[in-house]
Amino acid sequence: MSIERSLVLVKPDGFRRGLSGEVLRRIESKGYLLVDLAVLTPTREQLAAHYVEHQGKSFYEGLVEFMCSGRVTAAVIEGQDCIAGFRSLAGATDPTKAAPGTIRGDLGRDWGGEVQQNVVHGSDSPKSAAREIAIWFPHL
Ligand code: DAT
Ligand code: MG
């Protein structure tokens, strides 16, 4: 067990629906610390770096298009094993399959688009977290 930081994004669907506060409430209720917060419209350059692992996949262009379609709330959170812990709070990638009780299960649904709009992003490993935090919070 180690103290970790994770990069969380309330994606444009969540931001537009006014769910930033609810996502942050769940993070704080779980006991994780908010290290930094920002509201911004992502650039394509930031998204290309953020989603480098998905470049070339069928949903990549649509994903970037969706993610730069509006503002996001970006957060760095901190706590023991918070990377896995937030992924557990977020639930499965597909919001239709995400379990009730999770952010995606409670707050997300399929809206019929090509790209899954699933309210939040959370880093998936310590290596990804370090890379992603440097993209969204270069001063940290
Ligand atoms: P996660 O966000 O759970 O880490 P991921 O990194 O595999 O999932 O994918 C990034 C985002 O891309 C995901 O949140 C929603 C979208 N996505 C993933 N797989 C998809 C697919 N097969 N069809 C449409 N969108 C997809
Ligand atoms: Mg991912």
pLDDT digits (tens, 9 = 90+) for 3-49: 999 999 999 999 999 999 999 999 999 999 999 999 999 999 999 99
* Domain that residue 17 falls in: 3-136
Task: Give the pLDDT score at 19.
Answer: 99
Task: Kindly indicate the confidence band of residue 113, based on its pLDDT and cuts at 50, 70 and 90.
Answer: very high
| pLDDT tens, residue by residue, 59-97 | 999 999 999 999 999 999 999 999 999 999 999 999 999
Report how many domains make up the chain.
1
pTM exceeds cut of 0.85: yes
Task: Give the pLDDT score at 53.
Answer: 97
Mutate to test the pocket of ligand 1, among 8, 59, 67 (most ligand atoms within 8 A of CB): 59
Task: Give the pLDDT score at 42.
Answer: 98
Asked whether 104 lines ligand 1 (CB < 6 A), one says no
Q: Which residues are CB-neighbours of 123 under 8 A, at least 6 positions away?
A: 6, 7, 8, 83, 86, 129, 132, 133
DSSP 53: G
Q: Is 121 a residue of the active site? A: yes
Question: Atom 1 of ligand 1 has which residue's CA nearest to it?
Answer: 93
Mutate to test the pocket of ligand 1, among 93, 94, 102, 131 (most ligand atoms within 8 A of CB): 93
Predicted confidence (pLDDT) at residue 1 exceeds the cutoff of 90: no
Q: Which residues are CB-neighbours of 126 under 8 A, at least 6 positions away?
A: 4, 83
Task: Measure 31 CA to ligand 2 centroid, in angstroms.
Answer: 23
Read off the CATH number of the domain in which 64 is found. Answer: 3.30.70.141
Phi-psi region of 97 (alpha: psi -120 to 50; beta: other; left: phi over 0): alpha
